[in-house]
Amino acid sequence: MEPLVTNDLANNFDAVREQLIDNFVKIQQGINDGLVDQATIDDFQKNMDQLLIDSKIRDANIQEIVNILSDYDVPIQIINGKVVETEEGE
Q: pLDDT tens-digit profile of 66-79? A: 888 878 777 877 77
pLDDT surpassing 70 at residue 9? no
* Dist CA 21 CA 26 (whole Å): 9
pLDDT value, residue 5: 64
Q: pLDDT tens-digit profile of 22-66? A: 888 888 888 888 877 888 888 888 989 999 999 899 888 888 888
* Dist CA 82 CA 66 (whole Å): 11
Q: Annotate 61-80 with DSSP letters as a single string.
A: HHHHHHHHHHHTT--EEEET
pLDDT value, residue 67: 85
pLDDT value, residue 38: 82
